[in-house]
Amino acid sequence: LAETENHGIELTINSRNIVSKNFNWTTTLTATWSKERINSLPSGDLIAESLFVGAPIKSIYGFKYAGIWGTEDDADLMSKYNVKPGFIKLETVEKNGDGGVHKYSNDDRMILGHQNPNWILGLNNTFTYRDFDLSVFMMGRFGQTIQSDLLGNYTGEASVTRNQLAGT
């Protein structure tokens, strides 16, 4: 069985800002902080499920983009990465003391963030005038990484036909 560690705090503050015969205004502020971490998995990291020991549940695992290789970049360095101008530039993971300078591969994927927010804030205002009321609610989520497939997925294989965004 997987072992996880979860910590959290929830806070609610209610206020009655204006109370009169015909008009009332109340506010409720809610805040939730949460942090989680996987302490152990039965057979170690489960890359296909994006589950990693020491990382939060719902981690995002993939290539970290660093830009585009340009014509002004060092040709010798580009040859070590096996890329050409116009190819996507990635941050790489060090392998066997190479300082991260090697041909791109799936081993260069890394944890980019997580989908669960660290903070969720909510603010509700209720206005009542005689027999009419209006409620306005706002919510914000902070400290999460949003994963979007809008631009497609990248493959680390360097070739003329596969070194760009891969179809999904």
| Both tokens assigned to 156 | 């680390």
Select from 60, 52, 65, 34 the least CA-distant residue to 142. Answer: 34
The pLDDT tens digits of the residues spanning 105-139 come to 888 999 999 999 999 999 999 999 999 999 999 99
Taking residues 36-42, report their average pLDDT. 90
Question: At a CB cut-off of 8 Å and minimum separation 6, what does 101 contact?
Answer: 77, 80, 81, 92
So what's the pLDDT on residue 45? 78
The pLDDT tens digits of the residues spanning 51-74 come to 899 999 889 998 999 999 999 999
So what's the pLDDT on residue 3? 87
Please tell me whether residue 78 adopts helix, strand or coil conformation.
Answer: helix
pTM of the model: 0.70
Question: At a CB cut-off of 8 Å and minimum separation 6, what does 84 contact?
Answer: 69, 78
So what's the pLDDT on residue 69? 93
